[in-house]
């Protein structure tokens, strides 16, 4: 069924809204449904540089708990939900939120 598992960078057409500093994680879709937060993105493969997994994940902001998701990686295809790429997308998103929130509190820590 899954014809493609890895995407090359120039095949990724979606423009990233958030990119991790090391550029391995790119989030292009952010949608809040109130209780849940849905994210779409790409995470670079650890074994194959310049190749990306496509990730979709929904989590609960209150608890950080992953609720559902899909990923094009082998671990997800084999073991199912969740995989480390889903956690990575959530963590990069949360980290960037904190960066915005803490901008004026940088000197208070």
* Backbone dihedral angles phi then psi of residue 40, each to the nearest 5 degrees: -125, 140
Burial of 67 (0-12, 13-18, 19+ CB in 10 A): middle
Letters for 41-80 (x = contact with Zn ion by CB under 5 A, - = none) are ------------------------------x-x--x----
The length of the chain in residues reads 109
SS3 7: strand
Distance CA 109, CA 105 (A): 7
Measured from the CB of residue 54, what is the shortest distance to Zn ion in angstroms? 9
Judge contact between 54 and 29, C-beta under 8 A.
Answer: no
Of these, 37, 39, 83, 92, which contacts Zn ion (CB under 5 A)?
83
- Binding to Zn ion by residue 39, rule CB under 5 A? no
Residue 6 binds Zn ion, judged by CB under 5 A: no
Q: Based on CB atoms, which residue is closest to Zn ion, 64 or 99?
A: 64
Q: Tell me how crowded residue 37 is: count the other CB atoms within 10 A of its CB.
A: 19
Query: Would you say 46 or 102 has its CB closer to Zn ion?
Result: 46
Q: Is 92 in the site for Zn ion (CB under 5 A)?
A: no
Total of residues contacting Zn ion (CB under 5 A): 5
Which positions touch Zn ion (CB under 5 A)?
71, 73, 76, 83, 85
């Amino acid at each position: 069924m899954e014809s493609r598992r890895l995407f090359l960078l120039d095949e990724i057409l979606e423009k990233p809204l958030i990119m991790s500093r090391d550029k391995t994680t790119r989030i292009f879709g952010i949608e809040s449904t109130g209780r849940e937060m849905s994210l779409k993105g790409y995470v670079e493969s650890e074994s194959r540089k310049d190749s990306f997994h496509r990730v979709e994940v929904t989590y609960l902001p209150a608890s950080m708990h992953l609720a559902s998701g899909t990923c094009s990686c082998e671990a997800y295809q084999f073991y199912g939900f969740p995989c480390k790429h889903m956690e990575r997308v959530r963590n990069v998103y949360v980290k960037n939120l904190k960066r915005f929130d803490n901008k004026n509190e940088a000197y208070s820590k």
